[in-house]
Amino acid sequence: MSVSFPSPRAVPIRIRLALAYALFLVLTFGVAGVLVLASLRDGMERQVDQSLRIRATLVQNQIAVGPEGQLRPSDVVRVVTAMSHEEDLDAPIIWVQVVDAAGTILASDPDVPTAEIPATPELVAAARGGQEAQMNGTLAGERIRVLAHPIKAEGRVVGVVLVAESLYLLDETFREVASLLTIAAASAVVLSLAGGWWLTGRALGPVTVVTRTARAIAGTGQFEQRITPPPAKDELRDLIATFNEMLARLAQSLQRQREFLSDASHELRGPLTVIQGNLDLLRLDLPDEERQISIEAAANEVARMSSLVADLLFLAEVDATRAVRHEPVALDAVVAEIWRRASLVDSGSHDLRILRNDATMIRGDHDRLFQVVANLVQNALRYTPEGGSVTLKLENHGSIAQLAVADTGIGIAAEHLPRIFERFYRVDRARSPSANRSGLGLAITKEVIAAHRGQVRVTSEPGKGSTFTVALPTLDGSPLEHGAAQISDLASAGGTPPNDQPRPSC
């Protein structure tokens, strides 16, 4: 039988954080407790050694050494006995024992529980060699501290004073401090678990809200929901702000997808109906002339449908920000080429001129910009009667380039201007009843300009003409964030900024 343990990922992060806090606190208390107890024991042992050293020095000072350089036993017994009767009741009990240079016990404290103070031969030998030494031992079942102090006379060791003190108080104090530290550590762990649980609950509250909202959105598909960010400017606020931005992008993407499907199905229904009708006619026994007309009509609808699908796919790619490259482009060269081609096609039917064409470098997609300018010029020529005027004007204002395509055509009514850049919105029926266009040209223009961090505006008056103004940040201009404000100002005003001298025309 095998026992499987849950993966760490199966444990909620709230529990893991609380346990991590508790573990960190246990480790901290453990290290601090070991250091405190070690420091306490070392300090108390030094204090015991100091008191033993003082007692040994007093004994040594009171013992008289004979003329032959030896200790007199009677004098040693007197000193040791007198010392035992002068014990301070508030001071710990210290036992005294004196041995001569040969290791014979000359006198021992009468209060010693055993016959003599337990001292190892190594300890006595160290003192007889002139060095003070300490050791821990056991006396009557209690731990004691023993200090061996040499008695010197005329530069040589004549005896050894052994002093000992019970470590009972030291051990009791050590145990009490250790118990208090253990209780404090256990209490701190419990409090850290409770506090960690509470703090992580408050800290992860917004994450819970995000999770609940995400689940609700996944279940309902309502991407319009938003989460109110907390007032504190921290990582969770950034997370919620990012999550709200993601929801906004998803909602926008979903809306565009719905519009794309709706528009595509609506626009393709007409050509498919025409094709189906002509195919039905071809099944009949029609004259060759009528059959040819049906074939041409179907072919025209197929061509129109192919163009429509291409435009729709391009708009879908622009929505996904994949269709526009960002490379250095000479916009003045694009304008000059469009003017040249349009002049050849127009064959002098209109007064097509370039009023100004400043040298301008921008970062963008040459083919898409060419498509935009060509579309604006073609529209201007299409809706301007023969003999009318169509002008192009490219001005470089340093950080912003402004291209204006103006015509003296039939113009656009005011009620159509707010919606002229919408997909499939047609002003053709009002401007030219015979026109049969998809209504995607200006929508593509707007999307391409937006992908280049620019803006496009239109001003028009029925019977007097229209002016389309495109503003784009230049390659050597200011940063796009600053340029965006200038683009808006230029596109709205349609003029040259103050203190900006116009450049020579091409």
pLDDT digits (tens, 9 = 90+) for 95-134: 888 888 777 788 777 777 676 788 888 888 888 888 888 8
Least confident of 10-19, 25-34, 82-91, 438-447: 82-91
Topology (CATH level 3) of domain 10-174: Beta-Lactamase (3.30.450)
- Give 495's Cβ-side CA count (13 Å radius): 4
More confident site: 334 or 86: 334
Is residue 377 over pLDDT 80?
Answer: yes
Distances (CA, A) of 232 to 178, 228, 236, 237: 42, 12, 9, 7
Asked if 129 and 157 count as a contact pair (C-beta separation under 8 A), the reply is: yes
> What region does 25 belong to: left with phi over 0, alpha with psi -120 to 50, or beta?
alpha
E strands within 265-396?
A: 327-330, 351-357, 361-364, 389-396
Least confident of 44-58, 67-81, 340-354: 67-81
Choose among 413, 414, 415, 396: nearest CA to 404.
396
Alpha helical stretches, state H, 351-451: 366-382, 428-431, 441-451
pLDDT at 478: 45
Is residue 273 over pLDDT 80?
Answer: yes
Is residue 494 over pLDDT 70?
Answer: no
- Give me the amino acid identity at 224: E
pLDDT per residue over 10-66, tens digit each?
677 778 878 887 888 888 888 888 898 888 888 888 888 888 888 888 888 877 776
Spatial separation of the C-alpha atoms in residues 71 and 342, rounded to whole Å: 132
Least confident of 264-278, 391-405, 492-506: 492-506
pLDDT at 419: 83
Percent of the chain, pLDDT > 70? 83
More confident site: 501 or 146: 146
Relative orientation angle of helices 366-382 and 331-346, to the nearest 10 degrees: 40
The structural domains of the chain, with segments of one domain joined by +, span: 10-174, 235-318, 324-493
What's the pLDDT band for 407 if we cut at 50, 70, 90? Answer: very high
Q: Which CATH code is given to the segment(s) 324-493?
A: 3.30.565.10
Distances (CA, A) of 438 to 94, 109, 263, 441, 458: 112, 120, 10, 8, 20
Is residue 367 over pLDDT 70?
Answer: yes
pLDDT at 338: 93
Strand partners, 105: 99
pLDDT at 339: 93
pLDDT at 124: 85
Choose among 409, 405, 396: nearest CA to 490.
396
Q: Which range is most confident: 155-169, 193-207, 308-322, 369-383? A: 369-383
pLDDT at 67: 66
DSSP state, 65?
Answer: B
Q: What is the mean pLDDT of the chain?
A: 79
Q: Tell me how long the chain is.
A: 506
Is residue 479 over pLDDT 50?
Answer: no
Which CATH class name applies to 235-318? Answer: mainly alpha
pLDDT at 429: 46
Asked if 424 and 312 count as a contact pair (C-beta separation under 8 A), the reply is: no
pLDDT at 362: 92
Distances (CA, A) of 179 to 27, 165, 166, 176: 17, 24, 21, 5
Distances (CA, A) of 329 to 189, 337, 400: 67, 13, 14
More confident site: 503 or 109: 109
**Measured CA angle at 273 (ends 267, 275), to 5 deg:** 110
Least confident of 162-171, 272-281, 429-438: 429-438
pLDDT at 184: 85
Is residue 4 over pLDDT 90?
Answer: no
Is residue 175 over pLDDT 70?
Answer: yes
pLDDT per residue over 324-345, tens digit each?
788 899 999 999 999 999 998 8
